[in-house]
Amino acid sequence: MPASTFQSYITDMKCALDLLDRYGTLQKMSSGSAEIDSLIDGVQENSFYLFYSNRENHLILDSLLYRQLIGCILPKSAKKNGFESAAIFLNNIDLSSDKNKHQLLNPEKIAIASKYAGIEPKIVSKNLFVQTAYNSEHQVSIADEVADKIESNSDIKLLAIRDLTKFVVKERDASDDANTLKKTLGILYRACTKHKVAIVATGDCNGTSNGIIPKPIGGTYLKHIANIIVHVKPIFWSTTNNGNTASPYVSFKASMIKHPYQRTPKSVNFYARRIGKRTNPMLFILD
C-alpha cells in the first residue's frame, strides 16, 4: 500500500456513531460452522480473514475455503445465511513441487460441498470465477486481473485465496518474496475495500515449540492488514484398536489471535466430517 494511501486511512477521522451505522449496514454470512461463527462473528463483507495451519493440515483449510465460496453464493435467507452473490477463487500453486497439478480446482469437491450446503453445483459454477498464480511475480499480475474483475462486476462479494503465502519461503519474511506478497495484497485489498468485498485466505505457519500457537508466515504487513487471523489444527483422530479410524468426524481447534473488537487469544473446538477414505479423506464437511 502506498504511504499516501496508508496515511489517508490514519488521518481520516470518523465519528464513532457513523462507524456504528456503517457496521450495521454490512452484510454477513455464515462460515458453515456454528462454532467458527461464534469465534469470528461470521464472515463480514469488507473484512479480511486469514486461516492458517501447518502444511500437513492443508486439507481442512481447503475444505474451509470451499465452504466460504459456496456460502457466498447461498441465498441471504435466515436458513442459508449467504451473500447471494458471486465469488472469485484465487489459487496459488507451484508446478515444480505440488502434486495433482491437473486439479487446480477440484470440481468434484466443489460439487460435494455444494450438495451438503443445499445448493446445486451448477448454480455455484455459474457464479464462481477462478484464477491461478504459479509464482510470486505471476501472483502480482493475477492480482491486477482480479482487481479489474472486482471493479467491473458489482455482484462479487467474496475473494477466496488458497495458499496465499505459497511463494513466501519460511523464516525469510524480510525477503523479496514477502515484499512481492505485500504488493499483491495491496492491489487486492484496495479493490476489495472499495467495493465491500470480503477476503478469506488460507496460509502456512512457522514452526514453533509445543504449547505455543505458531505465527503465520508472510511478514508484518500481512499480520497488520488482515482483520481476523485464526490458527487451525486437528485435536485428535478417533481410532479403533487395530488402528483404523472409527468415526467419520475429526475434531479441530480454531484459535483466534487477532480480531478488531474481540478479546484474543480465543479458541473453539469444531467437528468436520471426512468425505472419502477415512484414513486419507478427499474433503472435510463442516457441521
DSSP reduced 3-state for 11? helix
The predicted pLDDT at position 175 comes to 62
The predicted pLDDT at position 79 comes to 84
For helices 176-194 and 136-152, the axis angle rounded to 10 degrees is: 0
Whole-angstrom CA distances from 199 to 153, 188, 202, 211, 266 are: 16, 9, 10, 29, 21
Bond before 265 cis per omega within 30 degrees: yes
The predicted pLDDT at position 1 comes to 47
User: Which of the residues in the chain have pLDDT under 70?
Assistant: 1-25, 99-104, 170-175, 208-211, 236-246
The predicted pLDDT at position 140 comes to 96
| Cβ-Cβ contacts under 8 Å for 131 (sequence gap 6 or more) | 88, 89, 90, 91, 142, 145, 146
Q: What does the pLDDT look like over 59-99, one tens digit per residue? A: 999 999 999 999 999 999 878 889 999 999 999 998 777 76
Write down how long the chain is: 287
Q: What does the pLDDT look like over 228-257, one tens digit per residue? A: 999 999 986 555 445 555 678 899 999 999
Alpha helices by DSSP H, listed for 74-164, are 107-117, 121-126, 136-152
Q: What is the value of pTM for the model shown?
A: 0.87
Q: Alpha carbon 181 to chain centroid distance?
A: 16
User: Residue 90, CB half-sphere, CA atoms under 13 Å: how many?
Assistant: 30
The predicted pLDDT at position 153 comes to 97
Radius of gyration of the chain (CA): 19
Euclidean distance between CA atoms 200 and 232, whole angstroms: 14
